[in-house]
Amino acid sequence: MRVGVVGLGIMGAPMAMHLHKAGLLAAVYNRTRSKAEPFQKLGVYVADSPADLARRVDVAIIMVSDAPDVEQVLFGQGGVVEGARPGLVVVDMSTNSPDWARRFAERLAKHGIKFLDAPVTGGQKAAVEGTLTIMVGGDEALFRQLEPVFKAFGKTIVYAGPVGYGQAMKLVNQIVIALNTVAMVEGLRLAKALGLDLEKVAQVLSSGSARSGSIELYLPKLLRGDMSPGFKAAHLKKDLAYALELAHRMNLFVPGASLALELYKKMVERGLGELGIHALGEIY
């Protein structure tokens, strides 16, 4: 399979590099062309547009920020549908919502293009290490065909169900990440106020029942004062908004998730959205 990647950011670039190492990467595209230069030096074709990329690949992976960005990549001027032939597979690995996934699938089907929604979790560290967790929605037979692509940069690959189920599972994941991060930040604040040795606090939190992905990935960065993103606060705020929209539609009471969304909204309002999600304490 010839695979192309649109979006070479924090997550997309290392994912593309793993595809290159696996001999699957045929083309890349990024709006800021300089981010594609490392791939050009490796002999990978750098497309002029998503349409140009679509002409050269069997599978087009989209890894951009939000649903409107995916929509632009697919259906905007110079978008994937302009260059695609029937049978092309589009895999949206960004995070949005089940509604958007179904909408994309329906519109692409009119052009003879197949679709999977396959958001990931694990952050930049897992993307670099090739150990991402991938949640896939869509036709199961198509998912099985694309497993070699997912295995190039993923460790845990879960078929979630029909189109939209990958995004649904990711939103559940994001609520848990957000609340784990709130817990970590607030626990650390109390530890500082009590004058505890933070290295010893980290030792306890990393080995006992409080341990979580947030503790493992972000507590060491907090102790170093490193607020750089493995996952941006603005992106988590966006994901929580999608999750709360679904919960409210089903009349589900999710007070913890609602609180987390308000906290991350404050981060974005204060101009801190480009920091990592673990920098939440900056607003307290």
Active-site positions read 170
Asked if 89 contacts 113 with a C-beta cutoff of 8 angstroms, the reply is yes
β 59-62/89-92 pair status:
parallel
* Owner of token pair 């919502």: 97
Q: What residues form DSSP beta bridges with 115?
A: 90
Asked if 61 contacts 9 with a C-beta cutoff of 8 angstroms, the reply is no
Composition of the chain by helix, strand, coil, percent to 5: 55, 15, 30
Asked if 69 contacts 94 with a C-beta cutoff of 8 angstroms, the reply is yes
d(CA 74, CA 96): 15
CA max distance for the chain: 64
Asked if 106 contacts 98 with a C-beta cutoff of 8 angstroms, the reply is no
**Helix H segments across 45-164?**
50-54, 67-75, 80-83, 98-109, 123-129, 140-145, 147-151
Residue 105, token pair as written in the block? 């699938």
How many CA atoms, within 13 angstroms, populate the side-chain half-sphere of residue 165?
A: 12
